[in-house]
Amino acid sequence: MSRRPTMNGWFRATFDSAMATATGPTPERRAAAERAHILSQPWPWRHTRTHGVMLRLAMRDRDLVEIAGQLVRLVVAAPGSLTGRYPDGNTGRARVGIRTPMPVPADIAALLADAGVRLGPADDDTPGRATTTDRSGP
């Protein structure tokens, strides 16, 4: 049985707001992209889209390290989301290890919990982690 967490209305509005700020002309766009990244990790398309926005920001800044890092992340974002193998709280920037977990801000942790996303190790079989297979038992 396929299982994806639910992106409810409030969660979607928060993600959409972060993405709008990330793509806008404000100085907060980088921080907004990082928040959008943390929010998007369980959803393959949104996760990949967030890295696309981060790539555009890196290109605008002519940041070669960030451009290279985002190109790699564009390739691995969807598979990581589909398998539930992504580091919780990771901001998605190239200067952060691609598999490095980071603290999840409390407001984002609450939204993820409401959406049914379990935070914790990505390499266990505990039900509730954002994976494509429901492993809750027979």
Q: What is the mean pLDDT of residues 95-103?
A: 95
Query: pTM, whole model, 2 decimals?
Result: 0.83
Read off the DSSP letter of residue 105: P
| Residue 134 or 58, more confident | 58
Please write the tens of the pLDDT for every residue from 17-45.
999 999 998 889 999 999 999 999 999 99
* Domain residue limits, the chain: 29-114
8 Å CB contact between 3 and 132: yes
In terms of Cα–Cα distance, which of 93, 1, 96, 86 is closest to 42? 86
In terms of Cα–Cα distance, which of 109, 36, 126 is closest to 77? 36
Between CA 31 and CA 75 the distance in angstroms is 22
Please write the tens of the pLDDT for every residue from 38-71.
999 999 999 999 999 999 999 999 999 999 999 9
Q: Which two tokens stand for residue 133?
A: 């297979």
Output the pLDDT for position 47: 97
Between CA 18 and CA 50 the distance in angstroms is 10
